[in-house]
Structure 1
């Protein structure tokens, strides 16, 4: 029955009602469940009050939900046609940040757009996925193996990464580079090229370390030995580990976390929200949250596998990779597995730019799902 419906839609065209039927409402419910976890955690972070974090989180998710469902109805061919505009717009916003951005906590990362304070580096990750998907979607296997063909997409990655590192924003810059690398891999770029890039990165790493800001070098040093500066650079990760361990298996209970509510835990509403969840709901609660987030990632890759057009496949892979890196870096950061880098936990942490970016990405992902049977474009010779 489902196959007959899709075949009929391909012959007659797809109307709005038919597209609404194809929206994966189970996935929408999954995202709502993750956002609900964020509301509960931010309610606790606010000291048992919806203000100032949880209420804004709910409003942002509601707005993002409308945007996501609206974008799901947009034809994937229209999105492919204007993908380059998105990439150029993202770069333009990064340049605007460099020229007129707001400075906060030693970094110039935000711009004011009316009542909204936007962090373009978050948005750029989605725009980069769009741009690379548009470049690679008609490329043949032989074309992807041509080094000259890879120069433009390499520049598409290096330009925004360079602008993001200049802010400075090392964590987001590295994630953006990894998202770009994931897109190259999905497009069929040969393994040996990645090995060459890794070798070059290993050579320039010591030089890059010397050019880092003092606080960035301190993060790396305290990652290796947090106790070397327990009241300074190592304070955040030490308190995070204490909170994680004190939660035990079942946690201390909702609103009963001592590290969070006695303000020992830093940035509990943003970067360290996962630690607060683990303290109050224990190992069981933390694993349950990770399971929900893992289902979101799995759905993204399943959409890519079922899509008939290369643009949609690449777009879905890039968006799923971006979400995975959000989760991986945040959780690895708060558990002390990697240096602290200021990356939020998607759909859970407090923050407007991250919520907007994630929901925009899910809107594009759902458009790929709704239009998964659309075939367009051919291979470049």
Structure 2
């Protein structure tokens, strides 16, 4: 049993500590703002951070190179079953059925978030088993890998959660683009998507169509209120009690979708620029890691 759970010192020797240093300020700022708006959500997030840290420490003792051949397919299948369970026993919040409530805890989990990881692992597993030829994967290989992406994509889009579904789609096909697919397949796919775009648009939910038209046209009410919140913050920002856009509920879902607007109202221009710089540095560092490896 001990051979399966041996501590691998290389994990911490080669661990990218700079990445953690870059993430901590972003977590601290968002947690501070969320605690002001929704203390209960803040406590839940702290709990999730703790669970994540414990999970990381536990997984350092697991020899993934020995287990990946069966863990990746199992993890992927389990997440597909969770997505199916959402349709049966999922909890509806803000008009969308995306969550499963954990009995006896009052906490919820969103399977689509775990699916993102499982799809990446499953693609890596399949690609490592059969790497592409010099000219890239052909049609058969492309279809097999696409099924890994499209099945969860359709299940998530059905919830409906088109935003998460599109992130999964872009991530999955981004991996295939980097790994290598015959260019003729990409050309045919681009033409097919372009020709079918009007049909796809017609099948969207009304609120999804509205988001697209609002993005291309005049800002919607929530976006208008967010702009007012950002403008009212000025250069230095406001005290919590003076942040009227949020305190008086003009700014909707300020602890999630419009938290950047609340950041602008509370911490002003300086706070927004600081966060943007932190994100730019983080993204550049991630690109550096990807290129180096």
Give the TM-score category using the shorter length: 0.7 to 0.9
If asked which structure has higher relative contact order (CA below 8 Å, sep 6+), I would say: 1
CA 1:85–1:154 in structure 2 vs 1: closer, same or farther (change >3 Å)? Answer: same
Shift of 1:288: 1.7
Please name the residue that 1:54 is paired with.
Answer: 42
Listed as ranges, the matches of 1:152-171 within 5 Å are: 152-171=144-163
Q: Tell me how far apart the structure 2 counterparts of residues 283 and 190 of structure 1 sit (CA, whole Å).
A: 46
Report the equivalent of 2:142: 150
- Which TM-score applies when normalising by structure 1? 0.67
Matching residue within 260, 271, 279 for 1:285: 271
Which of 229, 236, 245 aligns to 1:259? It is 245
1:281 partner SS: helix
- Shift, 1:258, TM fit: 2.4
Question: 1:295 and 1:79 mapped to 2: Cα distance?
Answer: 34
- Provide Cα deviations, 1:222-278, integer angstroms capped at 9, x if missing partner: 333346xxxxxx211111121122233333355542211221110001111111112
- Is this contact kept in 2: 1:19–1:73, CA < 8 A? no
Of 77, 84, 108, which aligns to 2:65?
77
The Cα offsets for residues 121-179 of structure 1, whole Å up to 9 and x where unpaired, read as: 12211111111111223403337332111111111111111111111111111111111
* Residue-pair matches, total: 284
SS of the residue 2:101 aligns to: strand
Over the aligned positions, Cα root-mean-square deviation in angstroms equals: 2.4
In the TM superposition, what is the alpha-carbon distance from 1:192 to its structure 2 partner? 4.3
Q: Distance in 2 between matches of 1:286 and 1:72?
A: 36
CA contact (8 A) 2:132 2:179 kept: no
CA contact (8 A) 1:108 1:168 kept: yes
**Alignment correspondent of 1:119:** 110
Deviation of the 1:54 alpha carbon: 2.5
Structure 1 residues 219-368: aligned runs within 5 Å = 219-226=211-218, 234-253=220-239, 256-307=242-293
Matched, 1:201 2:193: yes
Closer, same or farther in 2 for the Cα pair 1:192/1:79, shift >3 Å?
A: farther
TM-score between both structures, scaled by the size of structure 2: 0.86
| C-alpha contact (below 8 Å) 2:8/2:60 kept by paired residues | no
Change (3 A) 1:254 1:206: same
Report if aligned partners of 1:83, 1:131 keep a CA contact under 8 Å in 2: yes
Q: Secondary structure at the match of 2:40?
A: coil
SS of alignment partner, residue 66 of structure 1: helix
Change (3 A) 1:170 1:60: same
